[in-house]
Structure 1
Amino acid sequence: MSVVTATPIVPASKRRLSNRTSLQQTLQNTFTMAYRGLVKIRRTPEQLVDVTVQPIIFTLMFAFLFGGALAGNVQDYLPTLIPGILVQTVITTSVVTGTQLREDMDKGVFDRFRSLPIARIAPLSGALLADTIRYAIATTLTFVMGFVMGYHPAGGIGNVVLAGLLVVVCSWAISWIFAFFGVVARTASSVQGISMLILFPLTFFSNAFVDPSTMPQWLQWFVNINPVSHLVTAVREIANNGAVTGDVWVTLLGAAVIVAVFAPLTVRAYMRKA
C-alpha cells in the first residue's frame, strides 16, 4: 500500500515573494509600466496642463510684471528669467510623481500589479521613468516660449539642450523625494501639500527671479546655499554663456546625494506595501 504525501499549498503571495526576476525582466517590466504611464497621459491629456500651460503663463506673467522694474525692459530680463522659470516649472512638476503614485495605491491599482508575474519594483520605476517625459515637455515649452518672446541664448542650441538635460536629470532625482512621500503619506492631497511647503521657499527664496544682492543679509545667506540657486546659476551659465562652471558639478553632486538617500528609502517603503 503506497503512501501519498500531501504537497503543502503555498499561498500565491508567498510564491510571488519567492520569485526573483532577472535584471533584463526588471528593465522590460519598467519600460512596460512607463509605457502605461504615457498611455494614461494620451487618454487624459489634461494631466499635461501643468507642463504645458504653466510655463507659458509664468513666463508671460513674470516677464511683464518684473522685466521693467528689475532689468529696465523685458528683453534684458529674459536671460535671467527663462532659466529661473525653467527650473521652477520642472521641479514643481516632479511633485506629480508622488501624488499619482499615492492615487494609484489608494485605488488598488498596485494591488492588481501584485498578482502579476512582474518585477515588484516595476510599477515604481516605470512611473519615475514616464515622468521624465513630462520634464522634457516642460523644458521644451519653456525655452520655446522664451524664443518667441525674444530670448536668444548666446550659448547656442547645443548648450540649450545641455542645460535642459541638466534640469531633467535633477528633477528626476528630486522626484525620488516626492515618490517617498507618495508611498508613506496617507492621501494624495497631503503629498501635494507637503511638497509645496518644501518647494515654494526653495524656488522663490533663490536667485531664480531676483539678484540676491538686493535681499537682506540673512536671506542672502540662505539663497547662496540653496541648491535651487546652484541649479539656476548652472543653467544660466550653460545656456547664456556656454560655460560649464562649478555650479554644474555641485548640482550633479546634490542630485546624486538625493538619489543615494531617497531611492533606498522609497524602495524599502514601497516593497513593504507591494
Structure 2
Amino acid sequence: MTTLTTTAPPVAARRVTPLATLQQTMTLAWRSLVQIKHNPWELLDLSIQPIMFLLLFTYVFGGAISGSTGDYLQFALPGLLVQNALFYTLSTAVGLNTDISKGVFDRLRSLPIARTAPLLGRIVADTVKQVWAFALLVGFGMVLGFRVRTSVIGLLGALALLVVVALAMSWMSVLIGLVASSPEKVQMIAFSAMMPLTFTSSALVPSATFPSWLKVWSDLNPVTHLADAIRGLLIGGDVAQATLISLVWSAGFVVVFAPLAIRAFRHRV
C-alpha cells in the first residue's frame, strides 16, 4: 500500500505590502507607456492637439484680444498649458473605461497584485505623458516667440505645480470613467465638466473683461488660480497666493473624489 500525499498550492497573501503595491503600480504604468511603441498615434494625438490649439488661439484670436499675436502668446501660453493638462486628464477616464469594458482589469484581478495598482498605474503613466506635453508646448511656443521671463526654477516650478494639480483633478476623471457605461459617454460627461471650467477662467482671456456676474465665478474658479500661478511662474507676477489657492483646491479634489473613485473602482472591478 502506498499513500499519495499532495501539497496544497501556496496561497497568495491577501494583503499586499505598500512597497509591493508601489512596484506593481510602476510596472503597470510602464505597461501603459510601452503601448505608445505599438500605437504611435497616441503620442501623435498627445502632440498635435496642443500645437493646434496654440496656433489657433495665437493667430486667430491673438490680434483681437491683445492687439498683437506676440503679446497674446505671452499671455495665453500659460493658460493653454493649464487647458491642455486638464483636458488630458480625460484620456485617463477614457482609457480606464476602455480597459474595464474590454476585460483587461478582469485579467489583472486574477493576479496576486494590489487591486488599486492598475488604477494607480494608469494615473502615473498619464502623468508622465503630461510632462511630455508640457515640454512640447513650451518648446513650440518658444519657436513662435514665447519667452520665459523668470528663470529655470520658475519653469520647473510651473511644471511641478501643473503636474500636482492635474494629478489631483484626475481623480474626478477617474470617477467619471468608472461610472460611465461607455467611452463615448465618458467623453460627453467629462467635456461637459471641463469646458465650462476652462473657458470661464482667466486661462485664455483676462477675467476683467467678463460681465460682473461671470467675473464673480471666474474669481472662484480653480482654473483661474492655476492659470495665474503658472503665468506668474513663467513670465512674472504674484505667485504665492495663486499657488497656495491652487494647492488647496488640489487637496480638496483629492479628499472628495479619490475615495469616491476608489469605492466605484472596487464595486465595478
TM-score with structure 1 length normalisation? Answer: 0.91
Of 30, 34, 42 in structure 1, the residue corresponding to residue 29 of structure 2 is 34
Q: Would you say the 8 A contact 1:50–1:93 is kept in 2?
A: no
SS of alignment partner, residue 229 of structure 1:
helix
Q: Which residue of 2 aligns with 1:4?
A: none
Q: Would you say the 8 A contact 2:86–2:166 is kept in 1?
A: yes
Q: Which residue of 1 aligns with 2:165?
A: 170
CA shift at 1:153, angstroms?
1.9
Alignment pair present for 1:210 and 2:205: yes
Q: Which residue of 2 aligns with 1:62?
A: 57
The one-character-per-residue Cα deviations of 1:185-212 (angstroms, maximum 9, x if unpaired) are 1111111110000111111111111112
Structure 2 unpaired stretches of 5+? 1-7
Alignment pair present for 1:249 and 2:234: no
CA distance in 2, matches of 1:243, 1:140: 23
CA shift at 1:100, angstroms?
0.5
Q: Which residue of 2 aligns with 1:72?
A: 67
Alignment pair present for 1:239 and 2:234: yes
CA distance in 2, matches of 1:132, 1:69: 34
CA shift at 1:235, angstroms?
0.5
Q: Would you say the 8 A contact 2:78–2:230 is kept in 1?
A: yes
Q: Would you say the 8 A contact 1:230–1:251 is kept in 2?
A: yes
CA distance in 2, matches of 1:260, 1:41: 32
Q: Which residue of 1 aligns with 2:100?
A: 105
Q: Would you say the 8 A contact 2:228–2:239 is kept in 1?
A: no
CA shift at 1:227, angstroms?
0.7
CA shift at 1:245, angstroms?
2.1
CA shift at 1:242, angstroms?
6.7
The one-character-per-residue Cα deviations of 1:11-36 (angstroms, maximum 9, x if unpaired) are xxxx77x7111111111110111011
TM-score with structure 2 length normalisation? Answer: 0.93
Moved over 6 A (4+): none
SS of alignment partner, residue 149 of structure 2:
coil
State how 1:1-274 maps to structure 2 within 5 Å: 19-241=14-236, 244-274=239-269
The code of the aligned residue for 1:141 comes to L
The one-character-per-residue Cα deviations of 1:112-166 (angstroms, maximum 9, x if unpaired) are 0111111111100101111101111111111111101111121122211211221
CA shift at 1:49, angstroms?
3.1
SS of alignment partner, residue 94 of structure 1:
helix
The code of the aligned residue for 1:153 comes to V
Q: Would you say the 8 A contact 2:93–2:175 is kept in 1?
A: yes
Q: Would you say the 8 A contact 1:51–1:138 is kept in 2?
A: yes
CA distance in 2, matches of 1:209, 1:124: 32
The RMSD of aligned alpha carbons is: 1.9
The code of the aligned residue for 1:216 comes to P
Q: Would you say the 8 A contact 1:21–1:118 is kept in 2?
A: yes
Q: Which residue of 1 aligns with 2:5?
A: none
CA distance in 2, matches of 1:206, 1:97: 23
Quote the sequence identity (%). Answer: 40
Which stretch of the first structure deviates more once superposed, 239-248 or 20-29? 239-248
Which stretch of the first structure deviates more once superposed, 18-27 or 226-235? 18-27
CA shift at 1:42, angstroms?
1.9
Q: Would you say the 8 A contact 2:207–2:215 is kept in 1?
A: yes
Tell me how many residue pairs correspond in the alignment.
263
